[in-house]
């Protein structure tokens, strides 16, 4: 298939592009490189630098290629930032998706995969969280993804555009080739921050609260390996001919912040210094995905289900790329 991947130079997008290219698909990456890295793009993919904000260039892109499917990752993605700058999210994230959808409709492209989020579940009634859980966006970021899911619902009804929305929990780890991994200009995620302590780039990791109602008092999250997440995109794309679908996507297992630190100590052999800090605003105690629907309907199985494997692949990337993509931006 000829597939457009927006945001294919970013952390998750670049790993999906890797899996698509390795599976023999033809991939065009469209990315403005505001947070992504040119060097993250698989060498077999065509790269077009551009911005979804610019509707004319999006249309040109569709004029120049005959796409059969679109995977949409390009987006602002930080919960905290969205609370400080809501218009970037409720405005740009949504209007950029609309530019993309309009070009798809005008060019008769009928398959779409959305990178959605567990931030839709701010007040879960059951754990693990399955697709029946009520939607309570936790931030303008989550709301922007929910609005796009609703746009897709109408695109399907009116134009027959088939979509899958994959609501990710905590994407983590790095390509087993160690050619690509996580490299954010301002890192906020737990696993890369812990590994930066192991590398000696940071003095210690701050544990955001140890008084939660969990066995060790620290927050529990569902970490899913980024290449497993990528495989789910490929399976979802193949299933679209049988109709649109929405899945929660995680490992189905929860690990506490302390579990992650202990695992990183075992993997790296480094003594990782910690300190207890205040709770981070908006952090729920436990978030675990119910991914049974995805497993049952698409036969998805994680290859890197064990936290140790997830952390080990991340460590291999950070150890071999201590400055991320560095000068190869
Ligand atoms: N966390 C932490 N210290 C940090 C960064 C994160 O204790 O420096 C905790 C955070 O409170 C959450 C978990 O680690 O419980 C995962 O956070 P991350 O930002 O990686 O992902 P999120 O769950 O926000 O998507």
Is residue 244 located within the same domain as residue 305?
Answer: no
Domain span at residue 148? 2-172+223-249
Pair (156, 271) in one structural domain: no
Burial of 219 (0-12, 13-18, 19+ CB in 10 A): buried
Average pLDDT over residues 272-294: 93
Instruction: Rounding to the nearest 10 degrees, give the CA dihedral for residues 193, 198, 202, 207.
Output: 50
Q: Are residues 147 and 204 in the same domain?
A: no
Pocket test for ligand 1, best of 118, 195, 221 (most atoms within 8 A of CB): 221
Mean pLDDT (whole number) for 141-170: 98
Q: Are residues 212 and 130 in the same domain?
A: no
Could you tell me which residues come within 8 angstroms of residue 32 by beta carbon, excluding any fewer than 6 positions away?
49, 50, 51, 52, 74
**What's the 289 CA to ligand 1 centre distance in angstroms?**
16
87 and 164 share one domain: yes
pLDDT at 317 over 80: yes
Does ligand 1 come within 6 angstroms of the Cβ of 207? yes
165 falls within a domain: yes
Q: pLDDT > 70: what percent of the chain?
A: 99
Q: Give pLDDT, residue 128.
A: 97
Query: To the nearest whole number, what is the mean pLDDT of the chain?
Result: 96
Answer yes or no: do 99 and 201 share one domain: no
Residue 328 inside a domain? The answer is no
CA distance 14 to 131: 26
Residues 184, 134 contacting (CB under 8 angstroms): no
pLDDT of 73-129, one tens digit each? 999 999 889 999 999 999 999 999 999 999 999 999 999 999 999 999 999 999 999
Name the pTM for this structure. 0.97
What's the confidence (pLDDT) of residue 281?
82
Over residues 9-34, the mean pLDDT reads 98
Average pLDDT score over residue span 175-185: 94
Residue 255 has pLDDT above 70, yes or no: yes
With tokens 């294919």, the residue in question is 8
- The per-residue pLDDT for range 194-246, each reduced to its tens digit, is 999 999 999 999 999 999 999 999 999 999 999 999 999 999 999 999 999 99
CA-wise closest residue to 260 among 288, 199, 219? 219
Is it the case that residue 327 has pLDDT exceeding 70? no
Give distance in angstroms: CA of 74 to centre of ligand 1. 22
Q: Where does the pLDDT of residue 27 fall: very low under 50, low under 70, confident under 90, or very high at 90 and above?
A: very high
- Give the number of domains in the chain: 2
Nearest alpha-carbon partner for 328 in 209, 137, 134, 179: 179
Pocket lining: 197 vs ligand 1, CB cutoff 6 Å: no
Q: Are strands 220-221 and 255-256 parallel, antiparallel or unpaired?
A: antiparallel
pLDDT of residue 329: 45
Locus of tokens 């007040």 = 123
With a 6 Å cutoff on the Cβ, whether 257 touches ligand 1 is yes
CATH code at 280? 3.90.25.10
- The answer to whether residue 280 sits within a structural domain is yes
**Does residue 214 sit in the same domain as residue 234?**
no
| Residues in contact with 85: Cβ distance below 8 Å, sequence separation at least 6, in sequence order | none
């Amino acid at each position: 298939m000829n597939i457009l991947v927006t945001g294919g130079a970013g952390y998750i997008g670049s790993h999906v592009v890797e899996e698509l290219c390795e599976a023999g698909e033809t991939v065009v990456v469209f990315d403005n490189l505001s947070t992504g890295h040119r060097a993250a793009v698989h060498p077999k993919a065509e790269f077009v630098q551009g911005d979804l904000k610019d509707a004319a260039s999006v249309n040109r892109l569709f004029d120049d290629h005959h796409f059969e499917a679109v995977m949409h990752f390009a987006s602002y993605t930080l919960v905290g930032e969205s609370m400080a700058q809501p218009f970037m999210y409720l405005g740009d994230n949504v209007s950029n998706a609309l530019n993309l959808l309009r070009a798809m409709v005008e060019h008769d492209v009928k398959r779409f995969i959305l990178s959605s989020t567990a931030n839709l579940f701010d007040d879960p009634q059951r754990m693990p969280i399955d697709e029946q859980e009520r939607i309570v966006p936790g931030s303008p970021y989550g709301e922007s993804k929910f609005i796009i899911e609703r746009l897709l619902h109408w695109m399907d009804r009116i134009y027959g555009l088939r979509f899958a929305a994959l609501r990710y929990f905590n994407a983590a780890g790095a390509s087993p080739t160690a050619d690509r991994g996580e490299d954010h200009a301002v890192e906020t995620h737990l696993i890369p921050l812990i590994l930066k302590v192991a590398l000696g780039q940071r003095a210690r990791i701050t544990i955001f609260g140890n008084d939660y109602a969990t066995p060790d008092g620290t927050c529990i999250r569902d970490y899913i390996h980024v290449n497993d997440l990528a495989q789910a995109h490929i399976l979802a794309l193949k299933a679209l001919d049988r109709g649109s679908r929405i899945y929660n996507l995680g490992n189905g297992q929860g690990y506490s912040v302390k579990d992650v630190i202990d695992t990183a100590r075992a993997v790296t052999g480094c003594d990782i210094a910690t300190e207890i800090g205040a709770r981070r605003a908006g952090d729920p105690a436990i978030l675990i995905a119910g991914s049974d629907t995805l497993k049952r309907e698409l036969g998805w199985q994680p290859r890197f289900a064990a936290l140790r494997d997830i952390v080990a692949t991340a460590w291999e990337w950070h150890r071999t790329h201590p400055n991320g993509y560095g000068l190869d931006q």
